[in-house]
Amino acid sequence: MPDKVVTFGEVMMRLSPPGFLRLTQARTLDLTFGGSEANVAVALAQWGVPVEHVTRLPDNDLGQACAQFLRQFGVGLEHVVWGGDRLGLYFLEVGAAQRGGKVIYDRQHSSFATLARGMVDWPAVFADARWFHWSGITPALSANAADVCQEALQVARASGLTISCDLNYRATLWKWGRSAGEVMPELVGYCDVLFGNEENVEQMFGLREPENEDAADRCHRVCKALAERFPKLRTIAFTLRGALSATHNTWSGVLWDGGDFYVAPVYDIPFIVDRVGTGDAFVAGVIYGLLTDRTDLQRALEFAVAAACLKHTIFGDVNQVTVAEVERLMRGEQAGHILR
């Protein structure tokens, strides 16, 4: 069995109009739950990886509903902190064709955003863990959340865990007084594994390569620049998305590891059901690959890209696909036949 993974971040209630309705048209909203780090936890749990998600939830029916949602997938919640006034929300308007999607956050002063140092017993959380995953969304939420994130990273590093970060830049969240460029470099300095894309890296660290070059070549150079800037990094994985429209994308990824560089095949996705959580599915796929067989990094990358490709077909934030389904896609079974 793979080593235990701990994820840390806010879980929100997601409310979205059915189908492709706009928020201004909707009279009902579909309800589910999600959050970047929790999405990673759900995927890993379904693939047989022991995983514990650390968060803070209000001690009311909404908090309990959120916890039940995560538990149904096998995510451990032993170290959830109960308290605070409210569950964070976000409203999603799904895009179609040339109309892009839209997200409206309602998460200020949420239970998680008001988490403080000392509320989580990090030595107990990490006692039987091997891997700690967080994302740039957490320190974006509040000064408190950034402080607790640093607290967790300090204990994880002292405990000898592998630490990974998904940059996940969200411009609308960095409102508490410091920018991502001021906060993230110190936190990323604790990490062994980094996830993101070219845009995230430019927004947070100012690194950019000429756009007239091949995307994989640009990413290769960016990865080398990041590794020089953050010496603890040994693995960097980027997603590569080509947006023909809101509902038609191409999808691939690259992985840098100690100087070796890997490129995945490109998938054409002509009809997207739900784009949210695809990056998290990619992150989970890479972590799964690194935990189960670090000797075949090309396969780890291709598993991650295929898993995230399938997530585009799943409604909601979390990727509800099996290892067998991912492996079928990796073998080239892309026709969507009914399995009988």
On whether residue 334 sits in a domain, the answer given is no
Distance CA 272, CA 95 (A): 10
Distance CA 238, CA 194 (A): 8
Distance CA 255, CA 300 (A): 9
On whether residue 22 sits in a domain, the answer given is yes
Instruction: Measure the CA dihedral 250/319/188/117, to 10°.
Output: 150
Q: In this structure, what DSSP letter does residue 96 have?
A: B
Q: How far apart are the first and last CA of the chain?
A: 30
Positions in the chain short of pLDDT 50:
338, 340
pTM exceeds 0.75: yes
Mention every residue, 6+ apart, whose C-beta is less than 8 A from residue 7. Answer: 37, 38, 40, 41, 51, 52, 53, 54, 132, 133, 134
Tell me phi and psi for residue 160, to 5 degrees: 80, 20
On whether residue 24 sits in a domain, the answer given is yes
Distance CA 255, CA 193 (A): 10
Distance CA 107, CA 87 (A): 7
Task: Specify the CATH number for the domain of residue 306.
Answer: 3.40.1190.20
Could you confirm whether 280 is annotated as catalytic? yes
Tokens 């994130």 -> residue? 149
Domain that holds residue 11: 5-329
Tens of pLDDT along 297-334? 999 999 999 999 999 999 999 999 999 999 999 998 87
For residue 66, the model assigns a pLDDT of 98
On whether residue 178 sits in a domain, the answer given is yes
For residue 212, the model assigns a pLDDT of 67
Determine the 3-state secondary structure of 73 from DSSP.
Answer: coil
On whether residue 82 sits in a domain, the answer given is yes
Q: Exactly one of 166, 192, 257, 280 is catalytic; name it.
A: 280
Would you state the structure tokens that stand for residue 179, as one six-digit string?
A: 């920018």
On whether residue 339 sits in a domain, the answer given is no
Query: Vertex 277, ends 324 and 271: CA angle to 5°?
Result: 75
For residue 213, the model assigns a pLDDT of 77
Q: In this structure, what DSSP letter does residue 89 have?
A: E
Would you state the structure tokens that stand for residue 309, as one six-digit string?
A: 């490709």
For residue 270, the model assigns a pLDDT of 95
On whether residue 213 sits in a domain, the answer given is yes
Number of domains making up the chain: 1
Distance CA 320, CA 310 (A): 9
On whether residue 115 sits in a domain, the answer given is yes
